[in-house]
Structure 1
Amino acid sequence: MLGLIQRVTQASVVVDEREVGAIGSGLLVLLGVEKDDTPAKADALLKKLLGYRVFADEAGKMNLNLQQTGGGLLIVSQFTLAADTRKGLRPSFSSAGSPALAEELYNRFVAHAREKHDPVATGIFAADMQVNLQNDGPVTFMLSA
């Protein structure tokens, strides 16, 4: 399971010209599911994401995690993260999880995130979304489980 996280000052998701999710300062996570992913991998990625220290402490060092800062979490499904781009000029999605698996693990990830953190906002699974963000830093990391 893959999570591209970006520290943001604000982020939002628009579907059909309607804002469906938004946060202020916090993390935007683009979530990709690969075909061998499991509920255990989803849980491990969420634990890592919530504990990942990407926010500055009083000394300006990245020592604080999302839960310590109380920032928002915006979760957006992003199946293109699972693309194999090693060969050619067109991505292959042979390593991506099936739509059914991806939806199951995305919904699990979101539900567990809401149990462990507040606020949590989302996009809409499999929708054509416009994601707006202001990357803070910029700070961007690829996490995997």
Structure 2
Amino acid sequence: MLAVIQRVSQASVTIDNTVKGQIGTGFLILLGITHTDSREDVEWLSKKIVGMRVFNDADDKMNLDLTTVGGDILLISQFTLHASTKKGNRPSFIEAARPEVAIPLYEAMISQLTTDLGKPIQTGEFGADMKVSLLNDGPVTIVVDSKNRI
């Protein structure tokens, strides 16, 4: 499971000209799910995200986590994170999980992040054509792969 985590001052997702989700300070997370991912990946990644200390403290050091700053999460599914660009110019998405695997794990991630953060999160819509807008704060962008824990 891949997560691109962006620290934002604001972010939103629009589907069919309607805002589906929006946040102020927090994380915009692009989530890529592959066919080997499991509930264990969901649990590990959620805890890693919520505990990540990348918000500035009084000394301007990245030392505070999402809960401490009262931040929110906007979670967007993005199968293209698992694109393979080894051959030719057209990416292959063979490593991206099929919907029957990805949707339950995406929904599990929504539930787990809500539990770990202690409040509901905002989301896009799995498989929809989404327009994502963000104001990256820093910029701070971090990629976390649940398969690279050590």
The verdict on a shared fold, with TM-score over 0.5 as the criterion, is yes
Partner of 2:69: 69
* Aligned mates of 1:50, 1:143 — CA distance in 2: 12
* Residue matched to 1:89: 89
Distance 1:22 1:101 in 2: 26
Aligned to 2:122: 121
Pairing of 1:29-68 with structure 2 (within 5 A): 29-68=29-68
Q: CA RMSD for the aligned pairs?
A: 1.0
Pairwise CA distance, 1:88 = 2.4
The 4+ residue runs of structure 1 with deviation greater than 3 A are: none
Aligned equivalent of 1:138:
139
Q: Across the two proteins, how many residue pairs are aligned to each other?
A: 145
Q: Which amino acid aligns with 1:134?
A: L
Conserved? CA contact 1:4–1:141, under 8 Å: yes
Counterpart CA distance in 1 for 2:40 and 2:20 is 28
Q: Which segments of 5 or more consecutive residues in structure 1 lack a partner in the other structure?
A: none
Q: Is the 8 A contact 1:71 1:119 kept in 2?
A: no
How far, CA to CA, are the matches of 1:119 and 1:39 in structure 2? Answer: 19
| TM-score normalised by structure 1 residue count | 0.96
* 2:47/2:116 contact within 8 Å kept: no
Q: Deviations over 1:109-142 (max 9, x none)?
A: 0011112222510111111000010000111010
Going from structure 1 to structure 2, the CA distance change for 1:87 and 1:54 (only over 3 Å counts) comes to farther
State the TM-score, normalized to the length of structure 2.
Answer: 0.93
Q: Unpaired runs of 5+ in structure 2?
A: none
